[in-house]
Structures are given as structure tokens and as C-alpha cells.
């Protein structure tokens, strides 16, 4: 309730209050409430079909919705025309003016606002440089590649220097190298211009590297909103924990036991004493999350290590991803290790760093994170 009240009185950035949308009987999202602070870069990340674009279209005012309000810079724009919301948009299906050159597409909004022509020229040139299209200015959109068209759309939004941006997968059509470069350009631009940005992606690297805060969306709900560090190190549930991170987190069934006053985790036949646990961990069944970096290859499979057979090795050059089938268990563990000779069918053992363990209740709610998780 408090959060709701706060959101309503926020007078900057973009606020969404109890927003709901359905198609027929299908609820697409329900009761979504959040604020992007003035100048903040907030990223919504989630799997395909979870409702990201629908949410963005509703905020932009180009799609109908159910109950709920949208505020931009303190103004309630829920019933405002899309062009009257002080929002600039770059969407997945970037619509350019097909009959206009790249230059005119970029300049259009400025000319409509009667910005002096010298200033328009300067900003077109600068924007074209930022999005890497200086040598394409005379072409029409039909003469450009998909990635080039996407960059025109991005430039067209950036050139306006609006108070707030909505960006829906604006880099999705770019190759890996160009995507990294445009990511850096966008961040630099954001730091310089300082607008409020709500940015959608299904790419977790993009989310983690660009977002001041990240909202992890699943089936029309925000599972967690937090800084990249928070959502990665302190995920609120198993969904967030396994959605972020590549390779994904290992999650195993385990038991919490009390032994001689200490709390231990029993998994894969091991008993792992936990470091001083500040939370009361309930004795009984839990789920344990281990990121691949919380596992280390060890020479000796006895004691506190899991022995098994190597099923698969991904060699990434600077590191190897080892898939180990634990002896006597139908469980594959994925470990991230430094380069070393290891091959499929080798015998190997991994140790578990208990300080980096995540513990979830059987329903997936996080109940404990290791001090170095």
C-alpha cells in the first residue's frame, strides 16, 4: 500500500500504477506498479511472450488497457494521445517514413518543432555518427539492412532528447559486435542527456550491463525489481535465480538438518555445514541453488566433493563449462572452471562453496543466500 501511495505522488520519471491488460479472457498482465525515476535507466527482461511489448505499448498509449494509470514527469497521461505523453519510442517493429531519406527521418521531429535549420543539421550529423550511419544519410529505409533501419529508428528517438524514452528491443537486429558498440553508445548518450529510459530486452547480458535497475518479468508479473547486483546475488525466488546467469544456476533437492547445534545441508550424499546462518532455516526439504562458479574441480573426490563422470565440456577458450553426472544420482552439475585438460567421459570431482549457496523453499521462494553468493 505504501509503495502505491509513493508511486502516485512521484513527480518525475515514468510511473505505472496498478496497470492491467487482458485480451478477451486472457489476462496479459495484472496490477503492475513501478516507477522509473527521473534520469534512471530501467530494464525489463523476461522470456518471449511474457508481455513486455504489450506493457510498453500500453505505456506509450498505442494499445488499449484495463484499469490502471500511467504518469510521465508527474503528469497523468493515461488518457492522453500517444504524441502527447512526452515519451519517445523505439519499438521492435521500428516504423520509419519509407519515402524519406535517413536524414529526413532523423530530422523530421526537430523540423516539426521548428528547430532552426543549422541546429537540425548539427544534431542530425551528431546522431548519425552515434548510430554509425553518417555514410547512409541519403538513402531511403528500403535501401537499408534491417540493422541499419533499426539504428535509424534509434537515432530518430535519440535526436529529440526527450525527457523519457521507451525502447523495446532496439538492438535486436544487430550483429554481436554492433550490438556491443551500440550498447556503449546508448549508455554514453544516456549519461550525457540524462533522460529517463524504460528499456525492454530478452537478453540478460543487455539487462545486466545497461540497467541501473532490472525488472525480471514472467507471465505478466514482475518477479523482482532491483539493481543488477541484487537480482543476481539476492534473487527473490528460483525463477529469477535461474533466469539470470549463463550457464544457468544448478538447482538440486536437498535437506536442511540440525546437527550438534550447527545447520547442515544434505545433498548428493554430502553433508555441508553452513556458515553462521543469520536466518532461521526450517529443518526439512529445500531446493539448493549453485551457480556454476560456486563449483570447483578438485583432484580428490573424497570428503566434501561430488564425484562423477564428465558428460560434456564446452571450451570457451578462457574457461571451460564442465557438465558432470554425479555418481549414484540422476543429477547433472554444471561447473565453470579455468582451462585445464578435461574431456568427455573423464572421472572428475567438484567441491561446493557453501558460502555461495542459495537456499529456496520447496515453493521456490528464496530463504537464504550465502555471504559470498
Ligand X SMILES: Nc1ncnc2c1ncn2[C@@H]1O[C@H](COP(=O)(O)OP(=O)(O)OP(=O)(O)O)[C@@H](O)[C@H]1O
Point out which residues bind Mg ion (CB under 5 A): 53
d(CA 154, CA 129): 12
d(CA 293, CA 208): 17
Cis peptide before 343 (omega within 30 of 0): no
How are the residues of the chain apportioned to helix, strand and coil, as percentages rounded to the nearest 5?
Answer: 30, 35, 35
Question: Of 54 and 181, which has the nearer Cβ to ligand X?
Answer: 54
> Which string of x and - marks every residue 129-158 that binds ligand X (by CB under 6 A)?
------------------------------
Question: Of 23 and 341, which has the nearer Cβ to ligand X?
Answer: 23
Q: Which does 224 bind (CB under 5 to 8 A by kind): ligand X, Mg ion, none?
A: none
d(CA 90, CA 102): 15
**Measured from the CB of residue 172, what is the shortest distance to ligand X in angstroms?**
9
- 170 near ligand X, rule: CB under 6 A: no
**Measured from the CB of residue 54, what is the shortest distance to ligand X in angstroms?**
3
Question: Of 56 and 263, which has the nearer Cβ to Mg ion?
Answer: 56
**Measured from the CB of residue 51, what is the shortest distance to ligand X in angstroms?**
4
Cell 518471449, located at residue? 48
> Which string of x and - marks every residue 14-43 that binds ligand X (by CB under 6 A)?
---------x----x---------------
Task: Output the furthest CA–CA distance in the chain (Å, rounded).
Answer: 79
Question: Of 53 and 150, which has the nearer Cβ to Mg ion?
Answer: 53
Question: Of 52 and 85, which has the nearer Cβ to ligand X?
Answer: 52
Question: Of 53 and 237, which has the nearer Cβ to Mg ion?
Answer: 53
Considering only residues 79-98, where is the footprint of ligand X by CB under 6 A?
92
Question: Of 50 and 265, which has the nearer Cβ to ligand X?
Answer: 50
**Measured from the CB of residue 34, what is the shortest distance to ligand X in angstroms?**
16
Considering only residues 200-239, where is the footprint of ligand X by CB under 6 A?
202
CA distances in angstroms from 360 to 112, 123, 318, listed in the order given: 55, 52, 32
**Measured from the CB of residue 44, what is the shortest distance to Mg ion in angstroms?**
10
Bridge partner residues of 57 (DSSP): none
d(CA 189, CA 108): 20
Give the H/E segment covering residue 238.
helix 238-243
CA distances in angstroms from 79 to 57, 68, 196, 198, listed in the order given: 14, 11, 21, 20
d(CA 311, CA 323): 6
Q: Which does 78 bind (CB under 5 to 8 A by kind): Mg ion, ligand X, none?
A: none
Residue nearest Mg ion by beta-carbon distance? 53
- 350 near ligand X, rule: CB under 6 A: no
Burial group, residue 90, by CB count within 10 angstroms (0-12, 13-18, 19+): buried
- Return the exposure string of 104-133: e unless at least 16 CB atoms fall within 10 Å of the residue's CB, then b: ebbbbbbeeeebeeeebeebbeebbebbbb
**Measured from the CB of residue 82, what is the shortest distance to ligand X in angstroms?**
17
Question: Of 35 and 53, which has the nearer Cβ to ligand X?
Answer: 53
Considering only residues 42-61, where is the footprint of ligand X by CB under 6 A?
46, 48-54
Question: Of 50 and 352, which has the nearer Cβ to ligand X?
Answer: 50
Cell 539448493, located at residue? 288
**Measured from the CB of residue 4, what is the shortest distance to ligand X in angstroms?**
24
Q: Which does 48 bind (CB under 5 to 8 A by kind): ligand X, Mg ion, none?
A: ligand X
DSSP letter for each residue of 3-65: HHHHHHH--SSEEEEEEEEEETTEEEEEEEEEEEPTT-EEEEE--TTSSHHHHHHHHHTSS--
Instruction: List residues binding ligand X (CB under 6 A).
Output: 23, 28, 46, 48-54, 92, 202
Amino acid at each position: 500500500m505504501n509503495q502505491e501511495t509513493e508511486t502516485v505522488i512521484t513527480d518525475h520519471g515514468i510511473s505505472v500504477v496498478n496497470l492491467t491488460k487482458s485480451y478477451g479472457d486472457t489476462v496479459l498482465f495484472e496490477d503492475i506498479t513501478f516507477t522509473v525515476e527521473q534520469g534512471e535507466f530501467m530494464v525489463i527482461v523476461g522470456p518471449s511472450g511474457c508481455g513486455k511489448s504489450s506493457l510498453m505499448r500500453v505505456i506509450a498509449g498505442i494499445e488499449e488497457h484495463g484499469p490502471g494509470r500511467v504518469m510521465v514527469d508527474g503528469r497523468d497521461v493515461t488518457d492522453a494521445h500517444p504524441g502527447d505523453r512526452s515519451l519517445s519510442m523505439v519499438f521492435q517493429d521500428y516504423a520509419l517514413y519509407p519515402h524519406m531519406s535517413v536524414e529526413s527521418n532523423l530530422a523530421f521531429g526537430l523540423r516539426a518543432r521548428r528547430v532552426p535549420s543549422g541546429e537540425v543539421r548539427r544534431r542530425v550529423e551528431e546522431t548519425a555518427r552515434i548510430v554509425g550511419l553518417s555514410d547512409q544519410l541519403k538513402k531511403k529505409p528500403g535501401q537499408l539492412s534491417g540493422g541499419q533501419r533499426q539504428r535509424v529508428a534509434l537515432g530518430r528517438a535519440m535526436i529529440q532528447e526527450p525527457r523519457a524514452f521507451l525502447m523495446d528491443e532496439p538492438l535486436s537486429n544487430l550483429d554481436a559486435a554492433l550490438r556491443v558498440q551500440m550498447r556503449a553508445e546508448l549508455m554514453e548518450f544516456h549519461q550525457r542527456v540524462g533522460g529517463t529510459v524504460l528499456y525492454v530486452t530478452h537478453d540478460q547480458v543487455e539487462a545486466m550491463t545497461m540497467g541501473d535497475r532490472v525488472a525480471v518479468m514472467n507471465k505478466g508479473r514482475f518477479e523482482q525489481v532491483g539493481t543488477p547486483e541484487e537480482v543476481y546475488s539476492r534473487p527473490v525466488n528460483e525463477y529469477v535465480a535461474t533466469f539470470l546467469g549463463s550457464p544457468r544456476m544448478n538447482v538440486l533437492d536437498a535437506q536442511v538438518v540440525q546437527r550438534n547445534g550447527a545447520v547442515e545441508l544434505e545433498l548428493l550424499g554430502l553433508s555441508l555445514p553452513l556458515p553462521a546462518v543469520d536466518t532461521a532455516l526450517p529443518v526439512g526439504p529445500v531446493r539448493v541453488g549453485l551457480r556454476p562458479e560456486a563449483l570447483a574441480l578438485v583432484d580428490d573426490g573424497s570428503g566434501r566433493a561430488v564425484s562423477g563422470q564428465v558428460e560434456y565440456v564446452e571450451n570457451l577458450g578462457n574457461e571451460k563449462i564442465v557438465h558432470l553426472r554425479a555418481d549414484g544420482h540422476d543429477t547433472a552439475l554444471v561447473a565453470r572452471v579455468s582451462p585445464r585438460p578435461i574431456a568427455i567421459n573423464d572421472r572428475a570431482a567438484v567441491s561446493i562453496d557453501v558460502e555461495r549457496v542459495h537456499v529456496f523453499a520447496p515453493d521456490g521462494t528464496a530463504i537464504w543466500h550465502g555471504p559470498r553468493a
